[in-house]
């Protein structure tokens, strides 16, 4: 499939946003962003944390003296971390998260993490990763975080094998997947990230790697260097993607397809009934994806093949063919597929196409609504439980909802 590569002005959301779902998943972890007041405001508003709550993230704010080189940032960071760990003895893993300001002044958080971990004498695991939004899309914050965990993962014994599901999933979805894998006959199954960062799963040559999210390419590469084998499969969005995802895992495990079909029969039936309520609303509607989350290709495949929507344009921030190979084969012929972004040119095409629905970032949604275009926030698709059979109808409803709203508001 031909891909148009664009380079120009981009509209992107910050990689720090990954903390919003990562801190909910890893319940013993704390995320300390080393950044500006803007970083603090972003996290506070994006996470929706109330002022009297005790969140598991915070911002060590760089002041003018830090940015000008008049203060020793490492001394200040040591003081802040020491106070934090004294106040919160429940922290098992502390992530030092680099931001745009800390990277601009070349603050070495990797070295700081090693120094601080040594001072804690093993009581707390301290790691560093970059959540900077200078040259990334917002979901890459999860990828850099998980990549930092890979060197700490224990070695899988040579005679053993396991399945490792890669990418953050809501607990309810993870539990559903674990039950289905058990019914199929695949065990043991581990998830990365785990619910406790201190309880990392093992990895080694016997590890079969199954990605649940398309934006974890660097983590997949790091796991491959430790011996894991990546299973090529579509992502578990909708009935078709979820069926192919489980079937690929079973085939790699050496199990017959009949085992998969028997295990998923009931969830597939429920998903078919749920999707039927939305197919009529979505069929024939035209949709465009602006590049933002890296979910654009698998979601476009789901909407086209299972809901009957017409894909006008699918834009992705970057195209990782290793992670998207199985999805690209399922896209409709003649699709306008773009990588990167030249914002003004893309907006010109969007105004010319006038699709029924545009999936885009937060910064573009309101201006496009003002122009009479119906929009859907792409970040909501990352926050919501949308993977698997039992969430297929919920996923379709997320796209039907703005169309219904537009219809109700029409005069």
SS3 of 75-101: the string is HHHHHHHHHHHHHCCCCCEEEEEECHH
Dihedral over alpha carbons 213, 217, 219, 223 (to 10 degrees): 110
Domain that holds residue 125: 15-136
- d(CA 329, CA 120) in angstroms, rounded, equals 50
- The residues facing 211 across adjacent strands are 166
Say if strands 189-192 and 207-211 run parallel, antiparallel, or are unpaired: unpaired
| Domain-located, residue 21 | yes
Residues 276 and 392 in one domain: yes
Residues 238 and 269 in one domain: no
> Tokens standing for 67?
């940015």
| Domain-located, residue 147 | no
Per-residue pLDDT of 236-283, as tens digits, reads 999 999 999 999 999 999 999 999 999 999 999 999 999 998 999 999
Residues 6+ away with beta carbon under 8 Å from 241:
234, 235, 298, 301, 302
Residues 298 and 396 in one domain: yes
In the prediction, which pLDDT does 11 show? 75
In the prediction, which pLDDT does 16 show? 87
Which domain-ending residue is among 206, 233, 261?
261
- The residues facing 338 across adjacent strands are 4, 315
Residues 301 and 374 in one domain: yes
| Domain-located, residue 167 | yes
> Tokens standing for 335?
């699709």
Residues 269 and 257 in one domain: no
Which domain-ending residue is among 136, 171, 192?
136
Which domain-ending residue is among 208, 227, 261?
261
What is the end-to-end Cα distance of the chain in Å, rounded? Answer: 41
8 A C-beta contact, residue 56 and residue 119: no
CATH number at residue 248: 3.40.50.1980
Residues 64 and 117 in one domain: yes
What sign results for the dihedral spanned by CA atoms 88, 94, 100, 105?
Answer: positive
- d(CA 15, CA 304) in angstroms, rounded, equals 29
| Domain-located, residue 151 | no
Number of domains in the chain: 3
In the prediction, which pLDDT does 411 show? 56
Residues 315 and 211 in one domain: no
| Domain-located, residue 10 | no
Alpha helices in 130-256 (DSSP H): 140-149, 171-184, 217-225, 238-253
User: DSSP letters of 316-348?
Assistant: ES---HHHHHHHHTTSPTT--EEEEE-HHHHHH
- d(CA 177, CA 389) in angstroms, rounded, equals 10
In the prediction, which pLDDT does 121 show? 81
- d(CA 199, CA 149) in angstroms, rounded, equals 11
| Domain-located, residue 289 | yes
Residues 56 and 104 in one domain: yes
| Domain-located, residue 294 | yes
Residues 273 and 324 in one domain: yes
Residue-averaged pLDDT of the chain: 91
User: DSSP letters of 263-275?
Assistant: HHHHHHHHHHHHH
Is residue 118 reached through a cis peptide bond, with omega within 30 degrees of 0 on the bond before it? no
Residues 309 and 221 in one domain: no
Q: What DSSP state is assigned to residue 193?
A: S
Q: Is 360 annotated as a binding residue?
A: no
| Domain-located, residue 218 | yes
- d(CA 304, CA 287) in angstroms, rounded, equals 9
- Tens of pLDDT, residue by residue, the chain (411 residues): 789 999 888 777 788 889 989 998 999 999 999 988 888 888 877 676 545 556 788 888 877 665 555 557 888 888 899 999 999 999 999 999 998 888 877 889 999 999 999 988 888 999 999 988 766 688 999 999 999 999 999 999 999 999 999 999 999 999 999 999 999 999 999 999 999 998 999 999 999 999 999 999 999 999 999 999 999 999 999 999 999 999 999 999 999 999 999 999 999 999 999 999 899 999 999 999 999 999 999 999 999 999 999 999 999 999 999 999 999 999 999 999 999 989 999 999 999 999 999 999 888 999 999 999 999 999 899 989 999 999 999 999 999 999 998 888 775
Residues 6+ away with beta carbon under 8 Å from 146:
166, 192, 193, 216, 219
Residues 112 and 203 in one domain: no
Residues 277 and 252 in one domain: no
Q: Is 39 annotated as a binding residue?
A: yes
Per-residue pLDDT of 297-312, as tens digits, reads 999 999 999 999 999 9
């Amino acid at each position: 499939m031909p891909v148009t590569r664009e380079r120009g002005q981009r509209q992107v959301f910050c990689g720090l946003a990954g903390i919003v779902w990562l801190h909910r998943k890893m319940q013993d972890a704390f995320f300390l962003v080393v950044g500006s007041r803007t970083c603090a405001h972003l996290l506070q508003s994006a996470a929706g944390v109330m002022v009297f709550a005790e969140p598991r993230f915070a911002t060590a704010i760089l002041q003018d003296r830090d940015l000008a080189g008049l203060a020793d940032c490492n001394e200040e960071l040591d003081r802040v971390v020491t106070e934090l760990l004294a106040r919160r003895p429940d922290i098992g893993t502390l992530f030092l998260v680099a931001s745009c300001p800390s990277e601009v002044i070349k603050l070495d958080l990797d070295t700081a993490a090693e120094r601080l971990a040594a001072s804690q004498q093993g009581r707390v695991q301290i790691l560093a990763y970059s959540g900077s939004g200078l040259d990334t899309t917002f979901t890459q914050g999860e990828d850099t975080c998980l990549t930092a965990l890979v060197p700490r993962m224990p070695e899988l014994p040579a005679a053993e094998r396991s399945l490792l599901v890669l990418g953050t999933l809501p607990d309810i979805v993870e539990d559903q997947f674990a039950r289905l894998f058990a019914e199929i006959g695949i065990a043991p199954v581990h998830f990365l990230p785990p619910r406790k960062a201190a309880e990392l799963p093992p990895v080694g040559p016997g590890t079969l790697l199954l990605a649940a999210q398309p934006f974890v390419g660097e983590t997949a590469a790091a796991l491959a260097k430790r011996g894991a084998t990546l299973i090529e499969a579509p992502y578990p969005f909708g009935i078709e993607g979820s069926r192919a995802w489980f079937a690929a895992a079973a085939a790699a495990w050496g199990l017959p397809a009949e085992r998969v079909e028997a295990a998923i029969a009931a969830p597939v039936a429920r998903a078919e009934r749920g999707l039927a309520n939305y197919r009529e609303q979505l069929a024939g509607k035209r949709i465009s994806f602006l590049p933002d989350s890296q979910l654009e290709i698998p979601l476009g495949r789901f909407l086209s093949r299972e809901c009957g929507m017409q894909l006008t344009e699918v834009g992705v921030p970057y195209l990782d063919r290793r992670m998207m190979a199985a999805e690209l084969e399922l896209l409709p012929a003649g699709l306008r597929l773009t990588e990167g972004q030249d914002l003004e040119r893309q907006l010109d095409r969007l105004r010319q196409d006038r699709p029924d629905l545009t999936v885009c970032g937060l910064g573009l949604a309101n201006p496009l609504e003002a122009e009479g275009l119906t929009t859907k926030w792409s970040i909501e698709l990352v926050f919501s439980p949308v993977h698997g059979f039992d969430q297929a109808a919920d996923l379709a409803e997320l796209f039907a909802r703005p169309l219904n709203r537009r219809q109700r508001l029409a005069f």
